Amino acid sequence: MQRQAEASYGLGGILAKTLYSTNSQAVPGEEGDRLTTLYRSYESVPVRAAVRFPLHLEIVLRTAEKEYPGVTEDVSANGLLFASRELPPVGAVVRFELTMPAAIMGGFSDVLLHCVGRIVRHQRMDDRFMAAAVIDEYSFRG
């Protein structure tokens, strides 16, 4: 039941709950529930202003032609920034999975996110190649 409630709040709500909520027993939608308050605030924030969480997770992005292993630099409800030796081209549709650790998600088990997105930009920081991907679709697997 908790997983269904979390799914209705989306990735942004889950990440906001993780960072700001101190009541892990809160039920979404109940009076005084911090997740509801944070989620409503989050919904009014423009897409480009989504909170970024500095998570360094191993990731493999897949295009129709190739796999690109890398490490995330940060993750938001709208996308992620990752570093890799080789980057998918800008505009490429990518599929990837993120395993969000239970400690970060505020649960008892890791949460697997299946995502579909696209590469929107490349950048170079020091000697590292990085790319940003927006998340267009996602589903939870616990």
Domains of the chain: 2-49 (no CATH), 58-141 (2.40.10.220)
Whole-number Å distance between alpha carbons of 133 and 50 = 14
Across the chain, which distance is largest between two alpha carbons, in Å?
50
The per-residue pLDDT for 70 is 97
Classify 18 as helix, strand or coil.
helix
Tokens standing for residue 84: 């890799």
Provide the strand spans (E) within the chain.
58-62, 67-75, 79-83, 93-100, 111-125, 128-141
The tens digit of pLDDT for each residue in 40-89 reads: 444 444 445 578 889 999 999 999 999 999 999 999 889 999 999 999 99
Q: How far, CA to CA in Å, does 60 sit from each of 66, 108, 114? A: 10, 25, 11
8 A C-beta contact, residue 80 and residue 135: yes
Put simply, whether the predicted model's pTM sits higher than 0.75 gets the answer no
Closest CA to 72 of 14, 141, 135: 135
Q: Are 39 and 12 in contact (CB under 8 A)?
A: yes
